[in-house]
Each structure stands twice: as C-alpha cells, then as structure tokens.
Chains A and B, each alone.
Chain A
Amino acid sequence: MKKLMLVILVIFGILVLNSLAMSADKVTLQFMGWEASPFETSITEQSLEQFMKENPDIKVEYTPVSGEYPAKLLTMIAGDAAPDVFFIASDSYRSFQKRGVLLNLTEYFNKEMDIDEFIPLAQDKMLINGEIYGVSSCDVSPVLFYNKKLFDEAGLPYPPNDPEKAWPWDKFVDVAKQLTVKKNGKTVQYGVSGFTIEWVSAFSAMVKSNGGRVFNEDYTELLLDSPEAKEALVEIKNLQRVYGVSPLVIANVQQGGISSTQMLQTGRLAMLVDGSWTLQQLAEMDFPLGIGVLPKFKEPVTIGQAHLYSAWIKTKHPDEAWKLIKFVSSREYQTKLVRTGIWLPNRMDMYEEENLANWMNPDVYPDDFGNMVKYFTNYAELWVAVKVPSEAWSIINEELGNFFVTDQSIDTVISRMKKRVDPILNK
C-alpha cells in the first residue's frame, strides 16, 4: 500500500513539474481590438490560429470590443491591466504616446521593417519625432460610391476613378443636379450625400483640394479662416441648402433606420461620399456599384488613416508582443481583410500592377479599380485629426455642425471656432 502511494505521488509530481515547465515556456499575450463586424472578427481569429501554429511558444487571447473602445482602453491602462498588444485609433495614438503608455518599437521596427515600404500617409501617421510606437494596420480613405443604374438611366458618364481625371467641382454639382429628381414637390432621388459626415471628414479633403489647410504646419493654429477654406465649406453647405442635391443628414451618429448605403442601393441616392470601408457592405448589396474619386476644386485630394497596433509599455513580453505586431501588420494578414473591401493596403508594393491581383477580389472591387490605386499612394494626405487633441477636433465638428445645419454665416462660425480651438492647440 505504501509503495503504491509513493509511486502515485512520484507520477503526480512529475506531471506537475512537467506542466509547470511547459507553461513556463508558453507566453500568453492579451490582444484587444474593436469589432467592426463579426465577419472581420472571425477572419482575425483564424489568422491568429495561424500565428499560434507558427509560434508554438506564444498563445494569443483576442478580445474584440464592441462599444466605446477608447474609454475601455484608457481605463484598462489606468487600472494597470492593459492588454499586451492592442488596436489604437489613429487619433488616439499621439495622445497615448505623449503620456508614456506605449512601448517604443523603434528598435524592433528598424531591424525587421522599413518605413519606406509604407504609403506616405501611413509613414506620417506612425512616426512621432522619428520614432515608432505603433505599426499601421491598413488604410481607409473617403471615396465616391455611386449607383451605375441611375447614371445609365440619366445617360450620364460615370464619375472617374483616375484621380488625374477627377471632376472639377462645378461639373460635379451639375451632374448631381441632373441626378436629383423631384416628384410632387418632394425629392425622391438625391444626387449626392456624405460630405458632412463627421467620421468621414470629407470637408478636410475639399479644403485641401481648394488650396487651403485646416491647420498650419505645426498644428498650432486653425487656418479654416482662409478664403480658400471658407469657399470649400460654403460649397459643401450649398449642396444641401442651395443646389438641393443633398439630403439633410445626422452627421455625428450612425443613422439607424434609413442609412445612406440603403438609399444608394434602392436608387434614392446616386452618389455617396463615404469611407472606403463601406465597400464591404455595399459589395454584398446586389446593385450595380461603382467607385470613383472625390471631385476636386483645384487638386484631387483625399485623406487616409487607419488604426495602429501598439504594445503596452508595461507588457511582460515585449519581444513576443513585437512578433504579434509584426504578424498582424504584415501584408499577408491585411490581404485577407483587404479582399473583403473593408480595408485598403498600406504598403507601396501592394499597389504595384503585378501585385493587385493578390487583393483585388473581383467579387468586391470593380475591374478598373487599378486606375484608382494612385489616389491612395500619391493624392492622399493623413487625416488632420490625428495630430490635434480630441477636444479641439470635437469643437471643430460641433461648429461645422452649426454651420451646415443653421443659417449662421461662414465668417461668424469660423471666427468663433478659431477663438475656441487655437488656445487648445497651444496648451
């Protein structure tokens, strides 16, 4: 009896020691991101399975968050319980880095990646004083979606997708007018919508297109009071107020019920300015969809941004965290999601002719989308919200809301906006 007990104890001891040793080798990384769609989450989880196969000593636990992500990330870091690797929105990146909670990835990055492989706006986004605290995930940019059927019915040419052939504003308004149909005094079909939507920020592209700027070079002054900037903003307002080609929309919250994408699909809207991510949804909606570049005032311009992958400065496994970051920001990983239309590539070489077929899924992207790729590499600027405090951007959107929706003049609104924003930019 005693001998049996001894044997059992020894076996037990070996098993315990063994599992201790095994778990000592295995590193568990907490990875947190937001869930843009259940589909995206399932692709992410599959890709992470592959990462774990390639790195048997690393286990990744992924937590997708739906709801207020910045608040959650902030409180987790404040509570000393942050994930090891996480998504960080492009307009939170600098505020978090400033407060010293992101791991400095510069050494890792310079050893294994090259900043010049990224498209210019992604480089601008990632580099803070020449250092890297997060790696870009992809790119998203506002584009012009349109319903081909409405154009065919009206006998109008499709909007161009080559930025060098972008429509001048007047021509664009003219086309929008021809695509706006009224019946019994009520508009049943609108020409265009989406220029005032806050998270698309098309206004900043139009301001730049007209030769103006939202901020000065070092982001210490609001420059929307220039005549060029004011002209662009007034024209956007005119779309709804004067030309009647745009519906009045709620600009700052996801519209429930009747969304712009549904209006595009059902022929109530001919053109929609929206983020490129909407392509995933639109491609599944079974109507003849076209994608073009935004109209221009003087130069064709769009903006771009996307979340980055960062690591917590207090992570216990910085080397493994970097491995995960490198994996999720890789070409292979993003291609899976780019193929669905929800992301655009962020590497220069992915936009080269011979590599387009890797991600240009014919079920999602139009055949001639190749004409449009230079829009994102050569004509896209980093979203200006990325480099200013959240409070300042909030005021800008609030005052723009005032301008687009009431009868207040551009001069009144902009001078008030500047008085409120400049002090915050200079704190």
Chain B
Amino acid sequence: MYSDYFWAALFLLPNLLGFLVFILGPVIASFGLSFTSWDLLTPIKWAGLENYKTLISDQVFWKVFWNTIYFTVGTVPVGIILSLFLAIALNQKIKGIKIFRAVYFLPVISSTVAVAIVWQWLYNPEFGLLNYLLNLVGIDGPNWLAGITWAMPAVIIASVWRGIGFNMLLFLAGLQGIPETYYEAAKIDGANWWVLFKNITIPLLSPTTFFVVVISIINSFQVFDQIYVMTGGGPARSTSVLVHYLYQNAFQYFKMGYASAIGYVLFFLVFTVTLIQLKRAKNWVFY
C-alpha cells in the first residue's frame, strides 16, 4: 500500500496548492513585476531599476511611508499594553466574565464599513458625540477626521479600539497557561501584585507577548481597509499609508510595476523589523 509520506502529501496538497497559486506565485511574480512598467492592459515592458529609483525621490512615497510608521508607533505599544491589562482583568473566574470577553472581541469581527460610519459620526467636528462630550468639560474639540493634524490620531484611536479584543484573546490564552502554583507559592512568601506581575506574569507570558508584538507590527504596517473606508487617505494624504498608495498605483494610476516595487519595499521593511525582533528575542523571551 501507499506509504505514510504519500498520505501526508495527499492531505497537505489542497492547502499547498492554494498556497502556491494564491500566495507564493503572486509573491514571486510581483518581485519580477517590480522591475517592469505595466498598466495591466498593454504588454509588460522591462524597466530595470527605474521603479526603485523613482521611489526614492517620490515625495508621496515618503509621506505614506512616514504615515505608516506613525500609525504603527501609535497603535502597537498602546494596543498591546491595553489588551494585556484587559486580559488580566478578564482572567478572573467571576460569573458572566465570558460576556465581557465577547463584548471586547466584538469590534474585531464587526464590519469595517459599519465601524467607519460610527466613528465618522463620533468624530464629526460640529455634531459628533466626542466633541459634544469634550465641550461639556470645557474643551473645544479638534477637527478630528476633517483636519490634517488630528486625522491620524483619530484613526489610531479607532484602530486601537478595534484591535484590542484580538490581542486580549491571545494574552488570555497565554495567561491561562501559567500554572496557579507559582502565584500561590509567591503569595505565601508575601509578594504583592506588582511583584507577582513583574516576576511571574511577564516572564512566563513572554512567548505570547513576543508573538503578539511581531504580529501586531506586521499587521499595522499592512493596514489598509479600515483607513480607506474611514478617511480615504485624506485629508490631503494625512492618513494615506503604504498599502493605500500601492493600491492607487496598481488599480487607479495604471502603474502595476511601481506598485509591485512599493510592495517589495514594504516587504523588506517588515522582514527587517521582524528579523531584528527574532534576534533580540533571546534576551527577553523565556520558554
């Protein structure tokens, strides 16, 4: 009969085929495309390093590049800290705790468009709820999504709100993997909550934390749809990010080659950052 290897290969085949056709194939193809000039409708033309050269002097590219960094710096640290504390808070065995967990996870699975519409209303400078509440305490609310200074912070706040639930879930799983016995032993020795947190929770949670940090950074570098729906990259490109500019080049400006080059720059960025994190992991991640 057939060997085990055969059956393993057979069962893996559907997933493998999907991976090759829909992920690996396009990844390799777009590497090639980044050296061409192609508008999708007429034949592909070789362009060598033109795209990469243009990229370096393209002011829009640098604007969206820094916007992406801004977005990442704004959402990742705050998001991780908040979701960690949320997970600790919701890790208790009280009745009804599961409802709270579901409530905090709800934004993650909500429709992007619905989230955008609600936040647009909240952020309306004249009639939105946020400025109304700020007014009650005497603060003159900013223009949020309608102005250039506060558009990105507004998007960041909405994104953090949206994403906390997901990381919270990961942290919850990590927390529940820490044996109670450690805490009990430490409490007998007279440790307070901060000591417990610093010397037990953080180190034993580090594999999860590492995973959350890496995934969050990768995802925030690739953000697109929630910004696209909420602000369309505006006003005046203040919330436009790398993937947004990539999308415009590929599907609106007929510059698929240039878009592929942008995609690869993004890839190297994410790859480098992840590599650095992997190398540094030895210092703080305990298994």
Contact surface of A with B, Cβ cutoff 8 Å: 68, 70-71, 74-75, 77-78, 95-96, 99-101, 187, 247-253, 255-258, 268, 389-391, 394, 398-399, 401-402, 405-406, 420
Q: Pick the contact of B236: A187, A256, A257, A399 (CB < 8 A).
A: A399
Closest to B250 in A: A71
The docked-state distance in angstroms from the alpha carbon of A256 to that of B116 is 7
A386, chain B: closest CB distance, angstroms: 15
Return chain B residues, CB-CB under 8 Å to A96. 41
- Docked-complex contact A250 and B127, CB < 8 angstroms: no
A65, chain B: closest CB distance, angstroms: 14
Return chain B residues, CB-CB under 8 Å to A390. 252-254
Q: Pick the contact of B128: A78, A257, A391 (CB < 8 A).
A: A257
B229, chain A: closest CB distance, angstroms: 8
0/1 interface trace, chain B 236-249, chain A, CB 8 Å (1 if under): 11000000000110
- Docked-complex contact B231 and A253, CB < 8 angstroms: yes
B63, chain A: closest CB distance, angstroms: 10
- Docked-complex contact B146 and A248, CB < 8 angstroms: yes
- Docked-complex contact B147 and A68, CB < 8 angstroms: no
- In the complex where A250-B145, A406-B148 touch, is A187 in contact with B126 (Cβ < 8 A)? yes
Return chain B residues, CB-CB under 8 Å to A68. 251
- Docked-complex contact B145 and A391, CB < 8 angstroms: no
Contact surface of B with A, Cβ cutoff 8 Å: 39-42, 59, 116-118, 120-122, 124-128, 143, 145-148, 229-237, 247-248, 251-255
Return chain B residues, CB-CB under 8 Å to A71. 247, 251-252
The docked-state distance in angstroms from the alpha carbon of A101 to that of B41 is 7
Closest to B231 in A: A253
- Docked-complex contact A256 and B146, CB < 8 angstroms: no
Return chain A residues, CB-CB under 8 Å to B236. 398-399, 401-402, 405-406
The docked-state distance in angstroms from the alpha carbon of A401 to that of B240 is 13
- Docked-complex contact A257 and B233, CB < 8 angstroms: no
- Docked-complex contact A250 and B121, CB < 8 angstroms: no
The docked-state distance in angstroms from the alpha carbon of A187 to that of B125 is 11
Closest to A393 in B: B252
Interface-central residue, B41, B146, B147, B236, by most chain A CB under 10 Å: B236
The docked-state distance in angstroms from the alpha carbon of A136 to that of B13 is 50
A296, chain B: closest CB distance, angstroms: 28
Closest to A395 in B: B60
The docked-state distance in angstroms from the alpha carbon of A258 to that of B126 is 10
- Docked-complex contact A257 and B121, CB < 8 angstroms: yes
Closest to A253 in B: B232
A427, chain B: closest CB distance, angstroms: 11
Q: Pick the contact of B251: A70, A250, A268, A420 (CB < 8 A).
A: A70
Return chain B residues, CB-CB under 8 Å to A256. 116-118, 120-121
- Docked-complex contact B40 and A389, CB < 8 angstroms: no
